[in-house]
Amino acid sequence: MQLKNIEQKFESPVTDFKSWFQREYLKRRNKNCAYSVRAFSNYLKLASASVSHLLSGKRKPSLKFVTRLFEQLDVNPHEKELILKSLKNKALKDYRLNKETRYEMIALDGFKLISDWYHYTILELTTVENFKFDYSWIAKQLGISVTETRQAVERLLRLDLLIEQKGTLIKTHGFVTNAEDGVTSSALKQLQRHILKKALDAIDEVPLVEKDITSMTMAIDERKLPEARKRITQFRRELCEFLEDGPKTRVFNLGVQLYPVSKRCGK
C-alpha cells in the first residue's frame, strides 16, 4: 500500500487520527525500509486489513477504539488530547446533524456471512460487564456450540466488526445495521426468521418480568405506512440508546412487527 508523503515534521502535533496513525507507521518505516504494514499490524495486535483501512482512511475508528489504541502506544499527552477532542467534536456534530451517521452499514456480501442471529449477539456481548473472551463461555451464554462460536468470531474479525486486543474482543462500531430502504435479500429474510423464532421461544421460556411480547390489531390508512416505518425506526433506535446508557449486564433483542392481516377491500 502506498501512502502520500506527510510533509509535516514528526514532532509537530496533529489533530486528526488518520494523520497521526500514518505518521506513526512512517516513523517506523523510515528507520527500517523493510518495515511493512504487516509488521505494524503485528506490533499493534490488529488484523492487517484493519490497519490498512485505518491508514487509507477507509475505516473511521470509534472514540473507544482510539482511546484503547492510545493506551497501548506511547502518545504525546498534548497530541492525544487534541485527537480525542477532535473525534468527540465530530461525533457530537454527526449526532446533531444526522443520527443515521452513527450506524455502520454492512455491505450485502458481508451480511451474507453473518446472517445468523448470534453474530449480532456476540457483538453486543463484548460490551457486557465481565465479558470473557472464551469460546466455551460465549457459547454457553448464547446456547450455541463452541464451533459455531469460534466461526462466528472469526467472521466478525475478518469483517472488522470486532478486533482482538489485549486478550479480549472489542466492538469497532457503536451501531451496525443491515437495513436499507427498498432492499431485501435471502440473507436478510433468514435473519428475520431467526429473530421471530427466538421471539416464539421466549413466549414459553422467558419469565414475564424479562419480556414484553404484545400486539395490537388496527384498521389503518395505508397511505401513512411510509411515515409509520420511519417512526418505528426512530423508536427502535431511541429505545436502544436509552437502554444502552449505563452498565451493560445482558444482551436483549427488540423486535417490532407491523404487517397486514387482511386483504385490501374489493380484492
221 or 112: which leads in pLDDT:
221
* CATH, domain range 119-175: 1.10.10
pLDDT for residue 228: 93
10 or 161: which leads in pLDDT:
161
Most confident of 95-99, 235-239, 258-262: 235-239
pLDDT for residue 150: 94
- Kindly indicate the confidence band of residue 133, based on its pLDDT and cuts at 50, 70 and 90: very high
Q: Which residues contact 45 (CB under 8 A, 6 or more apart)?
A: 72, 164, 165, 166
pLDDT for residue 247: 86
pLDDT for residue 138: 94
pTM for the model stands at 0.55
pLDDT for residue 77: 84
Buried b (16+ CB within 10 A) or exposed e, 154-185: ebbbebbbbbebeeebbbbbeebebeeeeeee
93-106: pLDDT as tens digits? 554 444 444 555 55
Residue for cell digits 455502520? 104
pLDDT for residue 135: 95
The C-alpha atoms of residue 180 and residue 194 are separated, in whole angstroms, by: 19
The C-alpha atoms of residue 95 and residue 27 are separated, in whole angstroms, by: 34
Q: Which own/partner pairs from 142-147 qualify as long-range (CB within 8 Å, at least 24 positions apart)?
A: 142/118, 144/118
Q: Is 106 helix (H, G, I), strand (E, B) or coil?
A: coil
pLDDT for residue 10: 47
Average pLDDT of the segment spanning 136-142: 93
pLDDT for residue 6: 45
Asked which of 3-17, 70-84, 89-103 is least confident by mean pLDDT, the reply is: 89-103
Residue 147 has pLDDT above 90, yes or no: yes
Q: Where are the domains of the chain?
A: 17-97, 119-175
Average pLDDT of the segment spanning 209-218: 87
Average pLDDT of the segment spanning 178-187: 57
